[in-house]
Amino acid sequence: MVRAAWRLADRHDLSKGLRKRIRSLVARFFKGPYDLEADGLKFRIYPGENYDDRKILAKGRLPEREEHKLIEPHLGKGKVFVDIGANIGSYSIFAAGLGAEVVAIEANPQTATKLGFNVRANDLDTVTVVNSAVGPRDDTLPLWQEPSNCGFATFVKDLTTGEWAGDWTPTFVKVRPLTAIADDQGLTRIDVLKVDVEGFEDRVVLPFLRHADRSLWPRVILLETNCRPYWTEDCLSELANRGYGVTGQTNDNMVFELSA
């Protein structure tokens, strides 16, 4: 019954407005939380609050399988995976399950708490959860959040209007450069860096590449690009100039690999 209700709320052959009304009704009766397994991994999900949770419940599997396949060859025992915008851990827990050491960075305090629970539920001692935002400098900024999808929290206020209009509210959070977080965690290498921060990707990646020692540059970068119009700088051209070539692409993300 629960899964059938959320499958109905997730039907993309329905109009966006109708889907939103159905989702609101379903969330009233089936808001969770629910404990379940997806692809052999354990999650406590809150489908009324997060798109990824709804996908896991409706489909019974992890979201973004295409992206997982693209980065899987670069993960494994001895590899280091840094996940910026870790959400509830669908990437971090997947990577840790392959044997990688994981630094899971999540700006939203409530989501970071859920992430930590999911890490513990899977008995993973190779995942470090960091509750912080990442940006070009130490700062405090308003993180805009919408109650039906906490995974789409953003620093880009323009993203809270138009197509994504909703009941957005700001929460002020601390922001730190990735260089500082990497230093705190004692990182000497990053094999895979995933960045999914809703239009703030350029302000995470480019300052890091400009200030970090080249030995710390990620071998592979999985970069969300569906909010590219909201970037203030073009990550793609600078990545190319620094020796990163595109090795994979999905509807929402691109994978870059550093040439030898």
Q: What is the pTM of this model?
A: 0.94
Assess contact for 47 and 70: CB atoms under 8 A. Answer: no
- Which pLDDT does position 141 carry in this prediction? 96
Residue 22, pLDDT above cutoff 80: no
pLDDT band of 167, cuts 50, 70, 90 = confident
Distances (CA, A) of 140 to 27, 129, 158, 175, 200: 32, 20, 18, 6, 14
For residue 204, give the H/E element and its range: helix 201-211
pLDDT at 163: 73
The rounded distance, in Å, linking the Cα atoms of 132 and 64 is 23
Q: How far is CA 94 from CA 43, 75, 202, in A?
A: 11, 10, 25
Q: Are strands 220-224 and 192-195 parallel, antiparallel or unpaired?
A: parallel
Cα–Cα distances in angstroms (integers) from residue 62 to residues 13, 26, 112, 174, 218, in the given order = 21, 21, 18, 29, 24
Q: What are phi and psi of 225, to 5 degrees?
A: -120, 0
Output the pLDDT for position 230: 94
Report yes or no: 121 and 102 within 8 Å, Cβ to Cβ: no
What's the whole-number average pLDDT of the chain?
A: 92
**Predicted confidence (pLDDT) at residue 16 exceeds the cutoff of 80:** no
What is the structure's pLDDT at 102? 98
Q: Which two tokens stand for residue 199?
A: 């239009």
**pLDDT attached to residue 124:** 96
Residue 25: what pLDDT? 81
pLDDT tens sequence across 80-122 = 999 999 999 999 999 999 999 999 999 999 999 999 999 999 9
Q: What is the three-class DSSP state of 80?
A: strand
Contact in structure between 6 and 47 (CB atoms under 8 Å): yes
> Is the preceding omega at residue 142 within 30 degrees of 0, hence cis?
no
Better-predicted residue by pLDDT, 199 or 18: 199
DSSP 208-235: HHHHS-GGGS-SEEEEE-TTGGG-SS-H
pLDDT for the residue numbered 254:
98
135: left (phi over 0), alpha (psi -120 to 50) or beta: beta
More confident position, 252 or 152: 252
